[in-house]
Amino acid sequence: MHTSSHEKLAAFVTTYLRDFRDQSLTILDVGSQVVADQPLSYKPLFNAPAWTYTGLDVEAGLNVDVVPANDYRWDELGADSFDVVVSGQAFEHIPFFWATAFEIGRVLRPGGVAVITAPGRGPQHRFPVDCWRFHDDGFEAIADYLGFEVLDVFTEWGRNMWEETILVMRKPVWSPAERNRFATRLWHQRALSAGFSEPDPGSLPDPTSGPMLDEGEPPNPSQLRNLVGGPFTEQLEHLRVQAIEAQRIRREAAKPLHVRLIHKGVRRRLVNFLEPPAPFVWDEDLD
């Protein structure tokens, strides 16, 4: 996990969840495994006593509570069971990320929020594959594909070589008909991805098994259903500008003194050259 990604998730918790620290929240971290060369984890960010954190990954390891038998079908997790789903630096490594997005949509409670961050550019870093880069338009397309509401989406252009994008989206509180429509689309999504992820290419979800959402009345909406977006994007832009300025100062300080003096003189001459000339004033004594 990149340090800047951890910083953005910390800002998300501060901006969106600070008023809910005493309320019961269930959090799912998709791609939660902590590896030796990247010791950072989101788990400490969700350490409020009333919150319950669950880590999910396709491989067993440190900070992993659930390893689904199928990468794109999380039958180990119930539908409508999490208030918050976070995923950082995972989507670029998921070949069929749209199938993962549908599973996130299934396990979110109505009114719950998902937070996804991934690089917008940067060098290849396989784990075990490196398939995608995302900009704000791409993340908005994911939310639209699910039928979710975008609260915030932001790409930190120019900050570092990764230029990460972060999306905060909310699952609507759907009517029974809308829930059934999502369940039908989920079934088709699982059917399409089955051949890629299951040992038997012919094994498909049973179309007679009904919706992939829990039967009965929809669950009570998450207490996060009334969150408002906007301030989070403003905070991220502030962090981006701060980081770029800090980089400029470090680069300037690293230059030899004579180079800095030369650059300072060049900038001063350039400013003087670009300044408009003073207006001409006619001196009547010259007549």
Would you state the structure tokens that stand for residue 6, as one six-digit string? Answer: 């951890």
* CA nearest to 120, candidates 130, 133, 110, 108: 133
Contact indicator for 9, 27 with CB cutoff of 8 Å: no
Question: Domains in the chain, ordered, with CATH?
Answer: 3-228 (3.40.50.150)
Distance CA 217, CA 227 (A): 24
Q: How many other CB atoms are there within 10 angstroms of residue 83's CB atom?
A: 24
Out of 63-72, 119-128, 209-218, pick the least confident: 209-218
Kindly state the average pLDDT of the residues 116-125: 90
Distance CA 149, CA 74 (A): 23
Q: State pLDDT tens for residues 159-171.
A: 888 899 999 999 9
Kindly state the average pLDDT of the residues 188-214: 61
Model-level pTM? 0.81
* CA nearest to 129, candidates 88, 87, 90: 90
Contact indicator for 109, 85 with CB cutoff of 8 Å: no
Give Cα 33 to chain centroid, integer Å. Answer: 17
Contact indicator for 34, 44 with CB cutoff of 8 Å: no
Single-letter amino acid code for the residue at 154: F
Residue showing tokens 């369940």: 183
Q: State pLDDT tens for residues 68-116.
A: 999 999 999 999 999 999 999 999 999 999 999 999 999 999 999 999 9
Contacts of 147 (CB under 8 A, 6+ apart): 172, 178, 182
Strand order in the sheet with 25-30: 51-56, 25-30, 82-88, 108-118, 165-170, 149-155
Count of positions (residues) in the chain: 287
Residue 128, preceding peptide bond in cis (omega within 30° of 0): yes
DSSP state, residue 284? G
pLDDT at 208: 47
* Confidence band of 277 (pLDDT split at 50, 70, 90): low
Contact indicator for 111, 221 with CB cutoff of 8 Å: yes
Distance CA 100, CA 203 (A): 19
Kindly state the average pLDDT of the residues 193-202: 58
Determine the longest span between alpha carbons in the chain, in angstroms.
103
β-pairing, 108-118 vs 82-88, is parallel
| Predicted confidence (pLDDT) at residue 267 exceeds the cutoff of 60 | yes
Distance CA 142, CA 147 (A): 9
Contacts of 242 (CB under 8 A, 6+ apart): none
Would you state the structure tokens that stand for residue 209, as one six-digit string? Answer: 């098994």
